[in-house]
Amino acid sequence: MIKSLSISNFVLIDDLTIKFNDGFSVITGETGSGKSILFNALNLLLGDRADYSLIGYNADKAIVEGLFQIGGRFESFFKEYDLDYASETLIRREITKKNKSRTFINDTPVSLTILKELSSQLIQIHSQYNTLDLKSRDYQLKLLDSLSGLEEKRIDYQKAFIEYKNMESVYNNNLDELDDKKRSFDYNSFLKEELIALDLDNIDYSQLSNDYKKIEKIEELKSTYSDIFKILEGDLGIINQIELLKARFENLNSLNPTESEIKSRIQSIIYELKDISDESYSEYDLLDNLNVNSIQTILEQLDSYNRVLNKHNLKTQEELIAFRNQLANELHSFDDLSQKLALLKKQLNSKFNFIHESANNLHELRINSSSNICDFLQDILSNLKLPDTKMTFLLEKSSDLNEFGCSKLQMMFAPNSNISPVPIHKAASGGELSRLMLALQKMISEKKHLPSILFDEIDTGVSGDVAFKIGKMLFEISQNVQIIAISHLPQVAAKASHHFKVDKIKNNNGIKVNVFKLSDSQRIEEIARLMSGDQISTAAIANAKNLILEN
């Protein structure tokens, strides 16, 4: 419940604190006295847009504070947003001349979103304007679920539905990514196969290029290697000549033993020259054994290699290998994504089947409870002087699912029993909508915990016995929930347990608005004023006393 409302420098209010009690409180005042200012101040605590034009004259800042008595069920909310929990929680809005707004919960700055999440669970405002909510099909479904005790089931369904939509979004994003990859998959596969055919891990194309250069000069190379071999190994070749030289030194050594070192040096030269001769012969033999097919193969390999290099604007074999590996990774990621999509599709189908079944169950439960609710609602409307009206819930199943399930609801209304019901927005007057909203709130208050409720002139368009019935029903609802009603009807005011009056006061600073709680005698006088106007007669006082005694 709201325990107090403090307002500073807000429109025509300089400094005001109203202390509320539980039960039924009424706020009255002359037309134009400033009741709407209280309404706007409370709406600020609910998260309405703040405007610097609301700041009072000659002030730099406007402040609206609400002190709420809250239950332990909110502890998890405070923990989630790292706020200090207190059984009496203070919500504050500040507006500055720079058109900046600040929001606090227990003196901790919070976002407007957090404020709305909390305050919407602490107080509800119903006015002659938001009875138009009754024309919203989504709002009608929420009402039906509240009256049927199906809110938890709907919330569970909504959680599953949101999970499904999130999964669907992930699936579609992955599907788009797969489509993008698929467009390049075939081409990348071709490029990869082209690179695999080059056998880059086993063929050294740099060496192959050198081999090709040899092939281009094969005859010249063979002739050169042949000449080298002949020079070294021919009858008059260098090796034979050095062998003769060695023999001469051996002969010399027999005559002069001191020359043995020269012999060993000559032998080393012979060994080295024989190695050169053998290598030259091997190179010659290799070139001589190359056939036309081998040459053609090398040419084709080099042609393929150079073509692929140029195709991808690369320069080395290492770069080609890196590119091949990159393609392999991309193709592998395509396969991974395909497998991921298959799994997501399976999970998506499973989640859809679950929410589809949940939506169907919810729809059946709504159908089963709707007729009883209409009967109860009819009884309450009869007490509100609408005995001949007819209310029905027209429920149809939609093939499409949304956050409320598969139910399409239309509240049907007929102002009297001999007329077929039509959608409520086509038939119900403002006064009928107000009473219908009141009847619904009474039913809901008997079934679940409600926050404090502010009714802003919900009795507009009614008078006499209807007003008396509305006042009585507001009092009945207040047995379960705190009710604050802004009213202009004496029948409603007389039913309240606590009575506040809004007055405009003229002083040196202009016109200001004040709100004060009425004593018993002041209350009688105010109700008499509501009955007879500013000229309060003795009869009006007596009637006011009788009206209060009827409570």
Residues 81 and 182 in one domain: no
Nearest to 23 by CA among 545, 480, 550, 504: 480
Residues 314 and 207 in one domain: yes
pLDDT value of position 352: 94
Residues 226 and 303 in one domain: yes
Within-domain flag for 28: yes
> Rounded mean pLDDT of the chain?
85
Res. 451: pLDDT tops 70 = yes
Within-domain flag for 346: no
Residues 84 and 206 in one domain: no
Strand order in 405-414's β-sheet? Answer: 390-402, 405-414, 422-423
pLDDT value of position 25: 95
Mean pLDDT of 251-259: 70
pLDDT value of position 131: 61
Nearest to 359 by CA among 419, 401, 395: 401
**162 residue type, one letter:** I
Mean pLDDT of 495-517: 86
pLDDT value of position 128: 65
pLDDT value of position 130: 61
Question: Could you give the number of structural domains in the chain?
Answer: 2
Within-domain flag for 281: yes
Within-domain flag for 417: no
Cα torsion 9, 94, 518, 549 to 10°: value is 140
Residues 220 and 320 in one domain: yes
pLDDT value of position 490: 92
Q: Comparing 84-93, 123-132, 345-354, 358-367, which segment has the lowest mean pLDDT? A: 123-132
Res. 463: pLDDT tops 80 = no
Residues 92 and 204 in one domain: no
Within-domain flag for 467: yes
CATH number at residue 475: 3.40.50.300
Residues 182 and 118 in one domain: no
Within-domain flag for 67: yes
Banded pLDDT at 183 (limits 50, 70, 90): low
Last residue of a domain, one of 269, 301, 336: 336
pLDDT value of position 249: 78
Res. 293: pLDDT tops 60 = no
Partners of 504 in beta bridges: 513
- Residue bearing the bigger pLDDT, 180 or 411: 411
- Domain residues for 235? 178-336
Banded pLDDT at 242 (limits 50, 70, 90): confident
Residues 118 and 193 in one domain: no
Give the Cα separation of 356 and 364 in Å (integer): 12
pLDDT value of position 433: 81
Residues 185 and 315 in one domain: yes
Banded pLDDT at 391 (limits 50, 70, 90): confident
pLDDT value of position 254: 74
Tens digits of per-residue pLDDT, 184-200? 766 777 777 788 888 88
Percent of the chain scored above 70 by pLDDT? 95
Res. 384: pLDDT tops 90 = no
Within-domain flag for 473: yes
Res. 262: pLDDT tops 70 = yes
Res. 523: pLDDT tops 90 = yes
Percent of the chain scored above 90 by pLDDT? 28
Give the Cα separation of 528 and 167 in Å (integer): 63
Residues 189 and 322 in one domain: yes
Res. 397: pLDDT tops 90 = yes
pLDDT value of position 364: 94
Mean pLDDT of 74-100: 90
Last residue of a domain, one of 302, 336, 370: 336
Within-domain flag for 147: no
Give, for 250, the enclosing helix (H) or strand (E): helix 238-255
Residues 315 and 203 in one domain: yes
Tens digits of per-residue pLDDT, 142-162? 889 988 889 889 999 999 999
Helix, strand or coil, per DSSP, at residue 486:
strand
Res. 308: pLDDT tops 80 = yes
- Residue bearing the bigger pLDDT, 25 or 248: 25
Tens digits of per-residue pLDDT, 21-68? 999 999 998 877 677 888 888 889 988 888 888 888 888 899 999 999
Give the Cα separation of 220 and 28 in Å (integer): 120
Residues 118 and 182 in one domain: no
Last residue of a domain, one of 336, 351, 376: 336
